[in-house]
Structure 1
Amino acid sequence: MSTCILRAPVSKGFSLQFATTFAKTTSCYGKLGSTAAPQPQVCIVGGGPAGFYTAQHLLKSHKGVQVDVFEKLPVPFGLVRFGVAPDHPEVKNVINTFTQTARQDRCGFYGNVTVGSDVTVEELKQAYHAVILSYGAEGSRSLGIPGEDLSGVHSAKDFVGWYNGVPGNKDLKPDLSAEMAVILGQGNVALDVARILLSPLELLKKTDITAGSLEAIAGSRVRRVLIVGRRGPLQVACTIKELREMINLPGTQPALDPRDFQGLREAVQDIPRPRKRLTELLMKAALEKAAGKEAEREWSLRFLRSPTHILPSPDRSRAAGIRLAVTRLEGSGEHARAVLTGEVEEVECGLIVSSIGYQSLPIDPTVPFDPRQAIIPNRMGRVQQAPGLYCSGWVKRGPTGVIATTMNDSFDTARSVLDDMESGQLDTSTPRAGSCAMHALLKQRGVTPVSFAGWEKIDAVETARGREVGKPREKLVDVRDMLKVASL
């Protein structure tokens, strides 16, 4: 397989007509011209959890369907590979299930193919009976404050991508020279970032964190991490598991202010049990700090604060601090709203990571998109006013929930597709060229797709490299290196 990654210009219409004609002159002709019932051809855009769970349910429930998964990177699994923290290997075990799905004869994988540029959604709709968009949330919510573009300010998406080996983030080079780092947001991703910054090097060396990130963290001077939220202790978005890991992190202590929890012991009596346990754990950690527990590194949760300005260094070349507005709560519980009080405070820091949420982006001008909610408008996964087009995962419902949430959501979309096939709302009576047309089309455009067998070559090299240094894997972080290995 060639390692060429040059992209020829997309030429609509003629190219797909050529590809379909080509398919009819090759081994696909028998399938296209068969008198038997046509094989339903389904395309899934996005090789992450949503894509593979959707494929799994379709293949299990329909013994004749052919499913092709398209992924813009040469490697599959999306946020399971690139979003799960390196020290959470148990969460990545779902890759085994996805691998079983991908190895089925009726499932094809096309890595290194960017839908929207290498091939359009409209071309996919002509080649397949159904197209399911499962490409996730590739953007980050903007802070919308002065100084956000200064060096030293990063989105959590990019920072997580840096230590997890996303090719586009390999050159991030975060400034870890200052003692204080500030993370904006108090969800699980924020705690992941804090934990990676503060973890003992010996723990990280046993994970699949990238070599470059490990080297940078080895020289890090960060000793204190401030995790900032607009609301109070009863509204933190992390789970008790993530919080407990932070509290028990070796060589690190929580620096929580007991005053933040005054009056909460009575308030938690009537709230749901998960929130009650989380708050009680926070209060216990705050009291232990007050009792004098000491450690080399520390982290703290700063409540009722909203960022208003990133403060520049004297030469205005980088971030040197952040200005926070003090807020108060109106209302209670999950619906409490943060209101500005007029007070402000400033914190000196060299690194600022914004963890206020991911968001999906439009993929193609022909696909409906709601810019306010940053999702594709849909009903049970059926894209509105676009027959034959479906969506699943974060682009369907927004960037919320855990992997199990994505699994259930993806199964729902798969059921919608299957129901539409059965009812005739999705017409599968006319043969579609599917993968045969795509092979010809991509070849014509100079695009080299990576098959699942190609990914397994990359996987073998990564795990072998990892064994040499006592890690589960040492990830390739350059697309050119991935393509070279896949072509061996």
Structure 2
Amino acid sequence: MPHVVTQACCGDASCVYACPVNCIHPTPDEPDFGVAEMLYIDPSTCVDCGACVSACPVGAIVPGHRLPDDQARFADINAGHYTTGVADAVRFPVDPSRQLPMAPVTKPRRLAVDEPVSIGIVGSGPSAMYAADELLRHPQVSVTLYERLRRPFGLARYGVAPDHTATRSVMWLFDDIARDPRCEIKLGLTVGRDIMLDDLRERHDAVIWAGGAPTDRALAIPGITAPGVVSATAFVGWYNDHRDHDHLDVDLATSRAVVIGNGNVALDVARILTADPDTLAATAISRHALATLRRSEIEEVVVLGRRGPAQAAFTLPELVGLVESGANVVVDPAELSRPPDTPDATTRAKLDLLAEVAARPRRGGRTLRLGFRRSPVRIDADAEGRAAGVVVERNRVTDDGTIEPTGTTDTIAARLVLTSIGYRGIPVPGLPFDEARGVIPNDAGRVVADGTPVPGMYVTGWIKRGPSGFIGTNKTDSAQTVASLLADLEAGALADRHPRRRGLLDLLS
């Protein structure tokens, strides 16, 4: 049987380049690569060679005959990407004359410089580590990463849910990169406080800023600052032992929590809140969070989205993982009206799975309820000023996806409200910043100020492109930035090819 890409797919495309028969798509050169929810293996062309299995950094690819029961749906999901489906699951083959592009395989080349090259990278998350990996392919390059936290790897460690162990295993790849003798990671150093950006630019031939998008998009509604309202970013950091959030006051002495937003992070926090703590004990969850979850009185978590189920922000792999995890997911059948035209196979599969969940008999225990077409209007507070409920307005979603408020409101009683409507980058002192997009202006990774590239200064990751994509999306993003940096290096366009090689202790003093 052909191999199958499963839920843990990180999208870094290593499998694409390893495949000898071009059966894994989309490739980084296809237009839908940046928005694809995962990669897919074409069962009609896969030759079961297993090259992709070895290349995958998170163990997401499995021979079809070895798929565990909770991942079995992914055989159809992979096949569905290469067929056009209609009602009753009748499938018609894609036009065989359609030729999908083969991803180009490039071999490392020797740089047109002979002397040692020193690159500084601010951050140690996925975008930083993929950039370091690209740079270290060249023997004359050394890399120093500056990380403000006590442990490296950013969102791969602090942003992935602790029970998503396969996805978190990408850190093994980052460990291998960090073991290179020409790679050094400095922990516990905040650029702008402990060490200045100008010092790094003096110390290195070039600097890559890979600081990510560390804060939430603000939800501007009345009552949002009431005690009991917590950002999903802070809550995820709390259960992942992030030093900025490990002392968060999370009150779980309430029967219901509401999560505003329905992306993958929203499903993560809802799943953690409704999970049996015993199933989390063997994961990397923080011990203080686990102790608090053991005392939790929550019986229901309501996850709210502004749009309909066809436009839900969560991905199909995340929904499959949630449903197959044993979580008691509840969906109201009345909320599952299907758009008249749903040509996208992924959306069809998502709606089919939601309909299957809605038709299941209700069972007791903690529930995770998915609600659609509701926009938050305000947070109501009790006599003590704490959150007591969320007032939501019902929406109508037109055929083209436009939201139309109906004027009808409901109140969902809840003493814990988690906001999860996306991430946002923050300004970096000394660098330009696009307030509208929350990114550092750049041209293919070159930092640009007033339309002019800043010599020797580069950017990668979410602070470069905005908070989109998955862990592995950063691989192609960082490759683009490194390619720009190396081209500038060879062209002699860097500001100072003879940086001041002062020791770090000297800089810190």
Which TM-score applies when normalising by structure 2?
0.75
User: CA shift at 1:37, angstroms?
Assistant: 4.9
Aligned ranges for residues 69-468 of structure 1 at < 5 Å? 69-250=145-326, 252-264=327-339, 267-268=341-342, 271-288=343-360, 292-316=361-385, 318-332=386-400, 336-364=401-429, 366-384=430-448, 385=452, 386-426=454-494, 430-434=497-501, 436-442=502-508, 444=509
CA distance in 1, matches of 2:370, 2:350: 14
Q: In structure 2, the residue corresponding to 1:167 is in which secondary structure? A: coil
CA distance in 2, matches of 1:248, 1:85: 16
User: CA shift at 1:191, angstroms?
Assistant: 0.4
Number of paired residues? 393
CA distance in 2, matches of 1:162, 1:38: 45
* Structure 1 residue identity aligned to 2:236: V
CA distance in 1, matches of 2:216, 2:352: 32
Q: 1:38 to 1:299 in 2, by over 3 A?
A: same
Which TM-score applies when normalising by structure 1?
0.78
User: CA shift at 1:411, angstroms?
Assistant: 1.4
CA distance in 2, matches of 1:248, 1:129: 49
RMSD: 1.6
Map Cα deviations across residues 98-144 of structure 1 (whole Å, 9 max, x no partner): 12222222111111110111222222212211110001111111111
CA contact (8 A) 1:190 1:355 kept: yes
CA distance in 2, matches of 1:337, 1:117: 45
* Counterpart position of 1:50: 127
* Structure 1 residue identity aligned to 2:419: S
Instruction: In structure 2, list runs of 5 or more residues that go unmatched.
Output: 1-112
* Counterpart position of 2:26: none
CA distance in 2, matches of 1:261, 1:331: 14
User: CA shift at 1:398, angstroms?
Assistant: 0.8
Which one has a larger percent helix, Structure 1 or Structure 2?
1
Q: Which has the higher contact order (CA 8 A, sep 6+)?
A: 1
CA distance in 1, matches of 2:241, 2:427: 24
Instruction: In structure 1, list runs of 5 or more residues that go unmatched.
Output: 1-35, 445-488
* Counterpart position of 1:39: 116
CA distance in 2, matches of 1:57, 1:249: 36
CA distance in 1, matches of 2:182, 2:397: 54
CA distance in 2, matches of 1:185, 1:240: 16
Q: 1:249 to 1:373 in 2, by over 3 A?
A: same
Q: In structure 2, the residue corresponding to 1:322 is in which secondary structure? A: strand
User: CA shift at 1:190, angstroms?
Assistant: 0.4
User: CA shift at 1:96, angstroms?
Assistant: 1.7
